[in-house]
Structure 1
C-alpha cells in the first residue's frame, strides 16, 4: 500500500513540474523537443520501464538495428525516439545468451551512446557505454570491443579526464586484433581510435600531439581510400574526407582557428559519407567562425547545417548554445531570429 502511495505521489509531482506529457509514437512533436523526447524514452527503456516489446526474430531485430542506424546517419531524431527505445527493449527481451544476441545488444547500446553524446547526457551515456563494453567483450567481437572503447574515450574526454581518454583510445588502437589483422575494417577502426586520441590531445592543449596522431590516421585512410566505404556505422565511416573533417574540430580545439578554417576549405561536404557527417562539417565550421569573431559566416554555416539536417540543428544542445551566443553577443537579424525560434530559443 505504501509503495503505491509513493508511486502515485511521484507521478503527480512529475506531472505538476514536467509540463506536457511525452508525445507518443505517431503523434507530431517539435524538432527542438526531439532530443528530450529521445532521452526520456531511452532512459525508460534502459531502466526496463518502456512499452512491452514484441516477439520478433533475430533477423527482424537486425533489420530494425539497420533502420535505426539509417535514421542516425540521416539525423532523424524523432524517428529514433520511436524506434531506438523499443529496439532496446525487444533486444533485451529476446536475448538468448548467445554471442549473437550479445553482439546485437552491444551495437544497440553503442548507437545509444553516440546519440546521448550528441545530446550531452553524460550520465545515461556512461551507463550505455559501459553496457556496450561488457556486452561486446562477451560477444568476443574485436570490432565491437574497439568501438565501445572509442565511445568510452569520448565520454572520458568530455568529463575532462584527458589522460584516461587518451589511454583508453590508444590501448584499444594498439590491440593486436587491430594492428595485425588483414581485415581492412580493423585498420579503419584503428584509424578512428587514433582520431579520438588526437582530439583528446587537442582538448588537452597538445597541438603537436594532435597533428601527429591525425597524420597517422590520415595515412591509414589514404591506404584504404581505393576500397569501399568501411565502418559506416562507426562514426559514419572512415575515409580521407572524414579524417579531414576531424581536422577542423581538432584544430580549433587546439586553439588554431585559422588552421581549422583552412582545413574546412580543403574539404567538399558532398564528399562526406552521411548527412550526419555533413551537418557536423557545417556546425564545426560555424564554431570556428564564431571563435574567429566572424558572426555572418557563423550564421551562414549554421543555416547550411539546418538545410542538411534540421532535426540535428534544432535539437543538439551544442548548436543551440551557439545560436544563443549569437543572439546575446551582437546584432540580430531576421534569419538569426528565425533559426533561434526553430531551435526553441525565445
Structure 2
C-alpha cells in the first residue's frame, strides 16, 4: 500500500478542477482531512477509503497499492495510457515528498539541480557537510545581497553554492555587531526557498530565522520569519494557528510606526492571513483582509518596498496575491479577472513574474481550460526555467494535464523538461 499518496491525490484533484472542499464533500470528510492527506501529515491506511478515493478521482486503485476489483472487462486504450502515466506520476510524487535521496534513484535524477540544492542546504543546516568555505565577515552583506538577487532571478544553480557558504560565514560572525541580523536574513531566504520546494527543512530554517531575529532585535527580519512560519503552519493544515501567527506579528508594537518598511511588513503579514482564509474556504474573510492589505499598500504611494522579502510589497503585490487567493478560495474565474489587473512586465523580479504565470495556470486548470493552462505554464517556463521545472506546484499541474486528456507536443516537451516522462 502506498504510504504517501498525497501528491498524487493533489495532482488528480487539480486536474479535475476541484478544490479541497469539493473533494472533501465527495469523500464525506472535512477539508482539513484532505489537506492533511495531501501534505502527508495524515497517513491513510484504510483500504475502503483508499478504494473510494481512487473511484472518485478515477485513479486505478493499484496506484495506492490496493487490489483492483476484477470486472472481467478489458481496459480501454485510454485506461491503459492513464495507468501507465499514473504509475510514473506515483514514483514522481513519492520523490517529491521523500527528498533527494529518493529522487536520485531514477535515471537522470542524480544530477538534478533541485536535488543538489536541497542536499547542500540540508548539509549546511544539519552541520553534516563541511565542504562549504565560509564567506568572510566583511563580505557577508554583499554576498547576501547577491544571493537574494540570484533567488529573485531564479538562478538556483548558484544558490546551491552560495547558501551553504553564507550560513557558514554567518555563524562564524554571529557574535559580531550585525552578525545575528545577517544570519536571520539568511535563514529567512533559506526558508522561502524550502517553502517553494515543499521541503520540510523549512521548519528548521524558520525557527532559526526567528531566533536570530529576536537576538538581533531586527524588527523586519522578525516579521519575515513570522510570515514564513505562518505559511508553513498553513501548509501543515493548521489555518487558525497560521492566522494567529501572521496577525499577531502584524499587530506587534514594533511595526506600529510611520516607517514605510514597517507598513510594508504589516501588509505582507496581512496578505498571508488573507491567503490562509482563502485556503480555509472563508472567501469573505479573505477579501476583507485583502482590502486591509490594499489600504496599507496605498500608504506607500505606489512604491514597492522589501523587494528581497518574497518580491516586496505594494499595490501590484496585492493584485498578484489576489490571483492566488481567489484561486485558493475556489473561484478561478475571479482569479483570472484579477490577473488582468497585473502587467507581468511591471513585476520586480523574474521569480514574481514566474509566480504570476503559475498562479494564472492554476486558475485556468481549476476552471478546466486546458489550452490556457498550458500556455500560462509555457510562459512561466520562458520567464524562469529553473523555477518552473523545479517547483512542485508546476509539476502537479503538468501531471494533471497529462492524465486528464489528450496531450500535445508542447505538453509532452514540458513534461520531459520537468522530468515527468
Q: What's the TM-score, normalizing by structure 1?
A: 0.89
Aligned to 2:332: 257
1:268 equivalenced with 2:343 (yes/no): yes
Shift of 1:22: 9.4
When the two chains are superposed, the root-mean-square deviation of aligned CA atoms in Å is 1.8
| Candidates 172, 177, 183, aligned match of 2:254 | 177
Shift of 1:239: 1.4
Distance in 1 between residues matched to 2:327 and 2:350, nearest whole Å = 22
1:152 equivalenced with 2:229 (yes/no): yes
Structure 1 residues 206 and 86, CA, compared in 2 at 3 Å: closer, same or farther? same
Structure 1 residues 291 and 20, CA, compared in 2 at 3 Å: closer, same or farther? closer
Structure 1 residues 67 and 328, CA, compared in 2 at 3 Å: closer, same or farther? same
Structure 1 residues 84 and 286, CA, compared in 2 at 3 Å: closer, same or farther? same
Distance in 2 between residues matched to 1:186 and 1:63, nearest whole Å = 23
- Runs of 5+ in structure 2 lacking a partner? 1-100
Show CA shifts across 1:296-341 (max 9, x none): 0000000000000000011111111110110111000000000011
Distance in 1 between residues matched to 2:335 and 2:288, nearest whole Å = 16
Show CA shifts across 1:103-145 (max 9, x none): 1111111100000000001x21100000101110000111111
Aligned to 2:370: 295
Show CA shifts across 1:244-281 (max 9, x none): 00000000111111110110112111111111000000
| Candidates 319, 323, 326, aligned match of 1:248 | 323
**What SS class does the counterpart of residue 61 from structure 1 fall into?**
helix
Shift of 1:84: 1.1
1:143 equivalenced with 2:214 (yes/no): no
Distance in 2 between residues matched to 1:280 and 1:19, nearest whole Å = 28
Distance in 2 between residues matched to 1:165 and 1:278, nearest whole Å = 26
Show CA shifts across 1:13-33 (max 9, x none): x89x8478998xxxxx5xxx2
Shift of 1:56: 4.6
1:193 equivalenced with 2:272 (yes/no): no
Distance in 1 between residues matched to 2:106 and 2:366, nearest whole Å = 36
CA contact (8 A) 1:50 1:89 kept: no
CA contact (8 A) 1:99 1:138 kept: no
Structure 1 residues 20 and 300, CA, compared in 2 at 3 Å: closer, same or farther? closer
1:115 equivalenced with 2:193 (yes/no): yes
Distance in 1 between residues matched to 2:302 and 2:329, nearest whole Å = 31
| Candidates 81, 86, 92, aligned match of 2:165 | 86
| Candidates 174, 198, 211, aligned match of 1:134 | 211
CA contact (8 A) 1:69 1:233 kept: yes
Aligned to 1:9: none
| Candidates 374, 380, 384, aligned match of 1:305 | 380
1:320 equivalenced with 2:320 (yes/no): no
CA contact (8 A) 1:279 1:305 kept: yes
Aligned to 1:67: 146
| Candidates 288, 291, 295, aligned match of 1:215 | 291
Shift of 1:35: 1.7
Structure 1 residues 96 and 300, CA, compared in 2 at 3 Å: closer, same or farther? closer
CA contact (8 A) 2:135 2:166 kept: no
CA contact (8 A) 2:247 2:270 kept: yes
Aligned to 1:47: 126
Distance in 2 between residues matched to 1:48 and 1:61, nearest whole Å = 19
- Runs of 5+ in structure 1 lacking a partner? 1-13, 24-28
The number of equivalent residue pairs is 320
